[in-house]
Chains A and B, each alone.
Chain A
Amino acid sequence: MTTLRNFSRFVTDTLRMVTTGGPVYYAWVAFLLLLIAFGANAYIGQIHNGLLVTNMRDQVSWGFYIGNFTFLVGVAAAAIMLVIPAYIYDWEPIKEITILGEMLAISALVMCLGFVMVDIGRPDRFWHIMPLVGRLNWPQSMLAWDVLVLNAYLVLNYFVVTYLLYCAYTERHYVKKLVTPLVLLSIPMAVSIHTCTAYLYNGLASRPFWNSAILAPRFLASAFCSGPAILLILLQILRKTTKLSIKDEAIFKIAELMAYTMGFNLFLTAAESFKELYSGTEHMVYFQYLLFGLKGHNTLVPYAWASIIFGAIAFILFLVPKTRTNWVTLNIGCVLIYASVYIEKGMGLIIPGLTPDALGEIYVYTPSVTEISVAAGIFALGFLVFTLMLKAAVPMMLGEFTISRGRKGAQPAKSEGHA
């Protein structure tokens, strides 16, 4: 009974906390809500007119939405980047920020599911894919696997985050016997969400660009640099704006790990490019389209090279201890990695997979205004989820806001519902 009462207090206090804040907080939330409304408006148009308002067509039947989905699965998987050293090596400085990684994973998954939802032609038939209610073609379809693991990973992370925060709120130490196995479970789960997503493309013999055994390893390697790149910048912001203490040591350690994964990612990309271009079979055309252009079509070429060059520069910046521990070069490296992987695992993966198409036709795809607007709305939704979670989580993690502390201060505060 006490637990139930405490939990309902936890929920109401959390709600109160996310609806009150300073002017900057309100402005940020309002900005995100505006973007969401903008995206929703574009999506209503898409629902009304069909996916005709996108630039996808039969030749390139997946585009910007699925590209973003794939990239964000990587970000979601990256939470384990922090969990592995924290729990396997029991490395204290990282442990406290693991929860941030998990919240990032939750936000990324929300965006992933959003991108899938806006991509399907019949969102009204969404229930068809729900296990038991609909008819999930499992274990045959890799998409069915992906639906299951993504949702399981979402639930798992959500539970762990809620539980840890609830414990902090009620001023109790979390039950290690419960948390450690769950956190350890999240490691193979994170690997599995990204592997499943890679297999989704990997299993299609019709698309030689994707039908490569190192696709899943490449997915994991790139995810392990892009996710932490976002986190590193975030940790610095949090250090500045809250009392959360994150040691330099932890940030530099993560940066070092990113150097290795980025190096590995570049190596795998090189291995794949070499195999295709040197052997020069008919499967080469997709790499040609990506890297050099084909029959005068070279839309992707500047992006592809930007991705490779950004990745290489970031690799060097993170490898050299001097630039790794310099805040300016560290942050430049983070931005470069983010951009590099966003291109590589987004449009750089989807579009050459489908161009030339199954019958050799080249349809030049670029996202339409609707696609970009809807995507902006989904990104804003993800940022909003993350912002709201952080707003409540940081004071709880710091012990500033618990069932006995901080609440009195919270009660007289104006609780007008801005959110």
Chain B
Amino acid sequence: MMDQDACQPTPGAPCPSGENNGRREFLGAAVAAVATALTGCGKLSKEEFLQHNFRELSKEEVLTVIERLEKEYKEKYGKDVKVANTPALPGVMFGYALDLSRCIGCRRCVHACVKENNQSRDPEIQWIRVLEMEKEEGVNLQVAEQYYNPAEVPREGHFYMPVQCQQCKKPPCVKVCPVGATWKEKDGIVVVDYNWCIGCRYCMAACPYGARHFNWGEPNLPSKDVNTDTHYLGNRPRAKGVVEKCTFCVQRTRKGLYTACVEVCPTGSRKFGNLLDKESEIRYVLENKRVFKFKEELNTQPNFFYFYGV
């Protein structure tokens, strides 16, 4: 039933079934009107309201949804935003390694990530949080400082530990989601369907890495800052009231590019690649360096590793 409702006439998008059930349309419109009142903005279309979970949409439905989203973004930002839905590549499992002995805590990764992934600018949502820690203490969260602001980094006696989504093999956030709005893709990336998330924030309580972020208000993304190269499950502009997180720049990495944070890092602390490719740099790091996983005792089994390169 939902499948057919999801393809109710969007101008220019032919409905594959060709049906036009007047009564259902009326009901859908009525419910959508109530729902619009609940969102607090007058923009919720019936199509958006009735859209089903991304994993349950047929290929045609996905295309219809994307067409609708691109139109909405065009109206909102005045730019041609491209929303891709590139699937996971076969034979690929993304892995990440971060060299704690090289990282200087400059936070260029934090800002490159915001720029790439269309996060809200004010308040700014940051998918990467850099922790300043004391060398004497080692990795100890109770003495970690996120709001360090010295004239120059690195500070004497300190080291830096950037934390972002660890793309766990056993993600607790996915397990707890009551509506299945978040899941692990075949290439290991944990994604969110921003159009299905109900904003209960259970995943945020479940994540041991503080990697999930909520749009507490309407995301503030100026048109001039919009990155138009987006992915449905990645950096497309989000709405108020939904959760978001690092996706290993799915819009880039599925095209064979590096993530924005890897590309910008001035010290080469960040290594990224295909864990299934024996020749990859990430495999080299895993095989030749001593790596550890953050909060290993929780058995979340991250595909994100930390190591001491020198």
Contact = CB atoms under 8 A, between A and B. Distances in A.
Interface of A: 44, 47-52, 54, 56-59, 61-62, 116, 119-126, 128-129, 133-137, 140-144, 147, 200-201, 203-207, 282, 285, 353-354, 356-361
Contact of A58 (B38, B39, B181, B214): B214
A124 B180 contact: no
Interface stretch (B6-14, B199-207, B222-230): B199-207
B181 to A, nearest CB: 7
A121 B178 contact: no
From B39, B146, B212, B218, residue with most partner A Cβ within 10 Å: B39
A203 B173 CA distance: 11
Residue in A44, A120, A124, A134 whose Cβ sees the most chain B Cβ within 10 Å: A124
B151 interface: no
A356 B52 CA distance: 37
B310 interface: no
B131 interface: yes
Given A61-B204, A358-B207, A359-B146, A50 B215 contact: yes
A359 B201 contact: no
A135 B38 contact: no
B141 A143 contact: no
Given A206-B298, A359-B163, A135 B210 contact: no
Given A121-B201, A124-B35, A356-B141, 10 more contacts: A58-B212, A59-B210, A121-B197, A121-B243, A205-B208, A205-B299, A358-B209, A358-B210, A359-B163, A361-B146
Contacts of B143: 360
A261 to B, nearest CB: 28
B196 interface: yes
Contacts of A128: 53, 179, 181, 196, 198
8 contacts: A48-B40, A52-B216, A61-B204, A121-B214, A206-B205, A282-B141, A359-B146, A359-B209
A273 B61 CA distance: 54
Contact of A140 (B40, B56, B175, B243): B175
A122 B216 CA distance: 11
A402 to B, nearest CB: 39
B249 interface: no
B240 interface: yes
A204 B176 contact: yes
Nearest to A54: B216
B307 interface: no
Contact of A147 (B178, B210, B213, B214): B178
A122 B179 CA distance: 12
Nearest to A357: B210
Contacts of B241: 50-51, 120-122
B217 interface: yes
A51 B177 contact: no
Interface residues of B, number: 55
Nearest to A133: B2
> What 9 A-B pairs come out closest when comparing CB atoms?
A121-B199, A121-B241, A360-B141, A52-B217, A206-B208, A124-B35, A47-B40, A143-B178, A358-B210
A224 B210 CA distance: 35
A311 B8 CA distance: 59
The binding surface of chain B is classed by DSSP as loop
Contact of B240 (A121, A140, A357, A360): A121
B258 interface: no
Contacts of B200: 116, 119-121, 143
A61 B214 contact: yes
Contact of B176 (A62, A142, A354, A359): A142
Interface of B: 2, 35-36, 38-41, 44, 49, 52-53, 56, 129, 131, 141-144, 146, 163, 172, 175-181, 196-202, 204-210, 212-218, 240-243, 298-299
B178 A144 contact: yes
A56 B216 contact: yes
Contacts of A204: 172, 176, 205-206
B216 A50 contact: yes
A47 B218 CA distance: 11
B210 A125 contact: no
A121 B216 CA distance: 8
A143 B131 CA distance: 32
Contact of A143 (B196, B202, B207, B210): B202
A272 to B, nearest CB: 19
A6 B214 CA distance: 52
Given A122-B241, A124-B49, A360-B142, A137 B180 contact: yes
Contacts of A59: 210
Contacts of B142: 282, 285, 356, 360
B39 A135 contact: no
A313 B204 CA distance: 37
Residue among A49, A121, A144, A354 with most chain B CB within 10 A: A121
B72 to A, nearest CB: 16
A59 B38 CA distance: 26
B145 to A, nearest CB: 9
B215 A141 contact: no
A141 B178 contact: yes
Contacts of B144: 359-361
A97 to B, nearest CB: 36
Nearest to A45: B40
A141 B38 CA distance: 25
A57 B243 CA distance: 12
B198 A135 contact: no
Nearest to A49: B217
B178 A136 contact: yes
Contacts of A203: 176
A203 B179 CA distance: 17
Contacts of B240: 50, 121
